[in-house]
Structure formats: structure tokens, C-alpha cells
């Protein structure tokens, strides 16, 4: 991962340059099996075909490297989202079936709007059910395979030696 982070600019350059070469050749119809293909050797055909995985790997490695560099931070919300992943995965399957059953039956909506409604409502309902009914209760946490909630540590009163004397100024 550290190597990907260090070489992220190089991977991005390789991915971008390979993509530009691929697209320029395609736009000008200079690719194997076209009449304009100037190279009649199989090696050049294989090199052209090898550009596609080079593009893909360049972009994937660059994205992982940039992700490691910019997104590898601790944040308060990450703990909440980490705990929510598995229950959300379980919940969304049931919710999507229930919602899609009713949305699909509508006659005057386009496929795209049905899809958007299904995804949006499913996400909203799944998050709501998780937050209101799964997360706060020990039984539902157990049923959804979650660890028990951490109890807040009690605040202990300060010992006599740790208390600084209060200075009262009188006028």
C-alpha cells in the first residue's frame, strides 16, 4: 500500500497516457483489422490489445494510491458506518423487495424513475430502520451480528491531591 501511495502519480500518468494513445488510435481508425493499420506484424497487434489492461491497471493503481493518501484518516463517522455495514446489507435486501413490489406496479412511470425511486427509498428506509431499531437495542444488535455497544466510562471524582486550590480575590 505504501508503494501504491508513493507511485500514485506515475500510475495515473501511465493510465492517462495509455488512454489517450488508445483513443487517438481508435478515433483515427488505426487499429488492428482496419485497412489503415500500418503494422503488419503480430507483435504490434498484441501491443495495441495490451493497451486496454494497461489503462485499467494504471487507473486502478492510481485510484488506490490516491485513496490511501487522502482517505486514510480516522474520522468519527467511520466507526458508525463500519458498524452499520453488515446490518444495512441484511436489511436492504428485504426492504428493496418490499418497495420494488409496489413501485414496479405503477403504470405511468419510466424505468429510470422507478429505479431512482427504488434506490432512494430503499436507502432511506434501510438507514432509518438501522438507526432507530437495530443500533440502540442489545437484542437487535445481537440478531444482526453486531458487538454490544460500548458503555461510556464513568467519570471518577478527582482526588484531593489533584485539585488545585481556588484563589478568591476580595476587593
Helical spans, DSSP H, in 1-157: 2-6, 8-27, 42-71, 76-104, 111-129, 138-143
Q: Let me know: does 80 contact 106? Beta carbons within 8 Å.
A: no
C-alpha cell at 134: 437495530
pLDDT at position 170 is: 62
The contacts found for 21-30 with CB under 8 angstroms, 24 or more apart, are 21/51, 22/51, 22/52, 22/55
Q: At what angle do helices 111-129 and 76-104 cross, to 10 degrees?
A: 130
pLDDT at position 103 is: 92
pLDDT at position 157 is: 65
The low-confidence residues of the chain, meaning pLDDT below 70, are 33-41, 152-153, 155-171
How far is the C-alpha of 135 from the C-alpha of 170, rounded, in Å?
A: 53
pLDDT at position 95 is: 95
pLDDT at position 161 is: 56
C-alpha cell at 63: 485510484
pLDDT at position 36 is: 64
pLDDT at position 57 is: 96
- Domain coordinates of the chain in residue numbers? 2-71, 76-143
Amino acid at each position: 500500500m505504501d508503494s501504491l501511495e508513493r507511485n500514485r502519480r506515475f500510475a495515473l500518468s501511465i493510465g492517462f497516457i495509455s488512454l489517450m494513445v488508445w483513443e487517438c488510435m481508435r478515433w483515427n481508425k488505426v487499429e488492428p483489422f482496419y485497412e489503415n493499420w500500418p503494422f503488419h506484424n503480430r507483435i504490434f497487434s498484441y501491443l495495441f490489445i495490451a493497451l486496454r489492461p494497461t489503462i485499467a491497471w494504471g487507473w486502478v493503481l492510481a485510484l488506490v494510491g490516491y485513496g490511501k493518501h487522502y482517505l486514510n484518516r480516522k474520522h468519527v463517522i467511520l466507526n458508525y458506518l463500519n458498524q452499520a455495514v453488515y446490518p444495512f446489507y441484511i436489511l436492504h435486501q428485504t426492504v428493496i423487495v418490499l418497495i420494488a413490489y409496489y413501485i414496479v406496479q405503477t403504470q405511468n412511470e419510466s424505468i429510470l424513475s422507478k429505479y431512482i425511486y427504488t434506490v432512494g427509498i430503499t436507502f432511506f428506509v434501510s438507514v432509518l430502520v438501522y438507526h432507530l431499531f437495530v443500533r440502540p437495542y442489545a437484542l437487535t444488535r445481537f440478531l444482526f451480528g453486531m458487538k454490544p455497544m460500548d458503555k461510556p466510562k464513568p467519570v471518577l471524582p478527582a482526588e484531593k491531591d489533584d485539585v488545585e486550590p481556588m484563589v478568591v480575590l476580595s476587593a
